[in-house]
Amino acid sequence: MKRIILTSILLLCAVAPTLAQRMGVWGVAFYNLENLFDYEDDPNNKGDDEYLPTGPYKWTQEKYQQKLNNMARVIGDLARPTCPGGPAVIGISEVENERVVRDLVNTSPAKEMNLKYVHYDSPDRRGIDVALIYNPRLFRYTKSSTHPLTIPDNPNFKTRDQLLVEGTMAGEHVCILVNHWPSRYGGAKSSPLREAAAALSKHIADSVRTANPSAKVIIMGDLNDDPKDASVAKVLGATRHKKDTPADGYFNATWGLYDKGIGTLCYQDSWCLYDQQILSANLLGKPANGLSYWKTEVFNRDYLVTPDGKKKGYPFRAFNGNIWQNGYSDHFPTITYYVKQLK
């Protein structure tokens, strides 16, 4: 597999600090695109009624194209300059259907990256799904599967499926689980739904690792909870510190940013970090021994930030209420970086 090598940054070898070693660097991103709908009515999806030319947002072909342009700009900038070729994979959420994902990867500057994608329709009541975009030069796709969340005592509950994509990155078996857990609508009463989603994520990830103990798993998504919340910290068992992560456990690579007050979305002037990346413990080794976690970033470039007004400093959204302001999303993306010593 062709690997992009970061030649402008030299990472010091842990064994011999004075000896610079060449490292390959791979980026993994997640981005909630906030309501990427097309402008045509799907009679089987009542959730798209707001995003039609006749809806409250007056969602036209022109606005749809501008939204695509904005999202493609972000995708083209993610992980650069650390990764000159951009991320190996990008998990995305709040996409209406395959068409919008296809249109996105065919919009410049994302188009020039020659990205591929994996998408399945979900039964979500709003008609939104998750998907995975990947660079085939950096991530070689093997297979994928979709996993619905069912609530036994609420059989009519519908939400986004969890998407598992397996492939090869840096010559190793890497599995990406893309999530968009149930919303916080209803307050504390909604927490059991996200705890059920966490239990499903853990089951999927554990099953992958049981089948192949060398598989490296990255759980990502808009979890609609913070790292400290029960769904993430207790049910999934994602740890705060690497040293506390058992061999069969998971490390929350975004918790440290949350502790510093860095978030991915802002609610009532308080930052939340719902867009998380959680790693299997075998990604916490030394780069000389294989693909290894390096660092995490919330991608909050100036153009993604509301410049003025009551929401100054918040993520810059496409709409302010029903007023089009040609922004991006109510979430910032997250990126984790991985290194491996090149032989």
Level-2 CATH architecture, domain 11-341: 4-Layer Sandwich (3.60)
Strand, coil or helix: 101: helix
In 3-state terms, what secondary structure has residue 319?
Answer: strand
Six-digit token string for 95: 């996409």
Tokens 């591929």 sit at which residue?
116
pLDDT tens digits, 269-295 = 999 999 999 999 999 999 999 999 999
**Residue 148 banded pLDDT, cuts 50, 70, 90:** very high
Query: Which pair of structure tokens corresponds to residue 196?
Result: 């059920």
Q: With beta carbons less than 8 A apart as the criterion, state whether 127 and 88 touch.
A: no
Amino acid at 71: M
Chain mean pLDDT for the chain? 93
Which residues are registered as beta bridge partners of 267? 270
Q: Residue 3 above 50 pLDDT? A: no
- The pLDDT tens digits of the residues spanning 220-276 come to 999 999 999 999 999 999 999 999 999 999 999 999 999 999 999 999 999 999 999
Secondary structure string (H, E, C) spanning the chain: CCCCECCCCCEECCCCCCCEECEEEEEEEEEEEEEECCCCCCCCCHHHCCCCCCCCCCCCHHHHHHHHHHHHHHHHHCCCCCCCCCCCEEEEEEECCHHHHHHHHCCCCHHHHCCEEEECCCCCCCCCEEEEEECCCCEEEEEEEEECCCCCCCCCCCCCCEEEEEEEECCEEEEEEEEECCCCCCHHHHHHHHHHHHHHHHHHHHHHHHHCCCCEEEEEEECCCCCCCHHHHHHCCEECCHHHCCCCCEEECCHHHHHCCCCCEEECCEEECCEEEEEEHHHCCCHHHCCEEEEEEECCCHHHECCCCCCCCCECCCEECCEECCCCCCCCCEEEEEEEECC
Write the DSSP symbol of residue 50: T
Q: Residue 197, SS3? A: helix
Residues 6+ apart with CB under 8 A from 157: 150, 151, 193
Residue 8 pLDDT exceeds 90: no
5 has a pLDDT exceeding 70: no
Pick the range with the lowest mean pLDDT from 3-7, 207-211, 270-274. Answer: 3-7
What does the pLDDT average to over 49-67?
97
Place of tokens 């068409």: 99
Confidence (pLDDT) at 1? 39
pTM: 0.93
User: Using one digit for the tens of pLDDT, what is the confidence trace for 92-113?
Assistant: 999 999 999 999 999 999 999 9
- What are the domain boundaries of the chain? 11-341
For residue range 173-201, what is the model confidence (pLDDT) as tens digits?
A: 999 999 999 999 888 789 999 999 999 99
